[in-house]
Structure 1
Amino acid sequence: MKTVVVTGYKPMEIGIFKANDHKIEFVKETIRKRLLAYMEEGLEWVIHSGQMGVELWTAEVVLDLKEEGYNIRLGILPPFENQQERWPEDLQQVYEEVTMLADFFRPLYQKGYDGPYQFRARDQFLVEHSDGCLVLYDEDTKGSPDYFLKTAEKYKETKDYQILYITPLDLEETVEERRMSDPDYWNQ
């Protein structure tokens, strides 16, 4: 895979309501581990639409990796201009920062929100311009990733396309690894 779409839930869909929630670090660490593994296999680009939640956290992870000297690029392709204008102010600031630092940024429609067709077009565009996707998803918790996954699954019917997941079990594994790496854990 040279290009992967990373997407998943919005913060409120997974019970995250504050920017400093410690659960975000576990999500980001899990994404980081996956991206590093894919980079060893030739990953060059991470793309997404810049949605709040998994996508913005992924952008932060990719920018951190770039700062550490890894050769990875970030592309952000929102469905329309100013998608962040109704978001909480702290998320708007994160969005502005990551879009300025991204290697590529361009809204698919050069206008504001006009209808749901823009989201469908976004999903189709991202799938057609990637080799696969990594989706933070729990089959028991329906939410915004469902729409993207339907597009990806339909595309996979006729094309070679990888659909990869980060599951709640993967997140629990990251939490457990972090706990076990804490020296105090072993002194109890």
Structure 2
Amino acid sequence: MATNLLISGYRSFELGIFKDDDPKIAIIKKCLKEEIKSYIEEGVKWILTTGQFGVEQWAIEVVEELKADYPEVKQGIIFPFLEFGSNWNENNQMKLAQLKKTVDFVDSVSHQPYKDPSQLKNHQVFMLDKTQAALLVYDPENEGKTKWLHKAILKKQDDGNYDCRLIDFDQLQNTTIDE
């Protein structure tokens, strides 16, 4: 049984989403909500992300909504390195700062600013070691930055028991929003 869930997926720009009111976000959030709720009902207690644009930030917002029905659920943002997001534009930095205030835990794997790609690899290993399951908004037929995490998860699944659910483009396409 998974008690810690990692959520990741496409960055907003990979989905062609550049505004907070894009209707695609509502569909993605609806799919996330259904899957996260299912994981919570199966025993997940902690939900972790890295705070990236797109799916990860939308997931944080969804979990905050779900806390009304599941107040016992906790969520954390674990950055790969110190000062993550400091090179983002002011609006995006403010959004990340707001999200950090809503979660139960914030830290970084490396306590130094970005130096080299090894910090990203160490972060990935850490996140997979601390979770038993992952939920990815990802379609292997439409690669993005999430492909590296997906490959690492597939390798972890070969080595042992690790659950991974994908929300792919077919699922997103078949999801409707009730007006």
CA–CA distance in 1 between the matches of 2:72 and 2:33?
14
Residue 90 of structure 1, CA deviation = 2.6
Whole-Å separation in 2 of the counterparts to 1:59 and 1:12: 18
Show CA shifts across 1:122-168 (max 9, x none). Answer: 11111111111011111221111011112211222212101110011
Matched with 2:149 is 148
Write the deviation string for residues 65-89 of structure 1: whole angstroms up to 9, x where unpaired.
2245532110110001221122233
Please, which runs of 5 or more residues in structure 1 have no aligned partner?
183-188
The aligned residue for residue 88 of structure 1 is 89
The runs of 4+ residues in structure 1 deviating greater than 3 Å are 67-70
SS of 2:134's equivalent in the other structure is strand
Greater relative contact order (CA < 8 Å, ≥ 6 in sequence): 2
Question: 1:139: which partner in 2?
Answer: 140
1:92 match: secondary structure? helix
Root mean square deviation, CA, Å: 1.4
Alpha-carbon spacing, 1:163–1:69, altered in 2? closer, same or farther (3 Å): closer
Query: 1:169 aligns to what?
Result: 170
Unaligned runs of 5+ in 2: none
In the alignment, is residue 33 of structure 1 matched against residue 44 of structure 2? no
Could you tell me whether the CA contact under 8 Å between 2:100 and 2:106 is conserved in 1? yes
Shift of 1:4: 0.9
Q: How many residues were matched structurally?
A: 178
Which of 1 and 2 has greater Rg?
A: 1
Contact 1:133 1:164 in 2 (8 A): yes
Find the aligned partners of 2:35 and 2:71 in 1 and give their Cα distance: 14
Distance 1:33 1:77, change over 3 A: same
Percent identical residues:
28
Give the SS at the match of 1:74.
strand
Aligned to 1:76: 77
What code does the residue aligned with 1:130 have? T
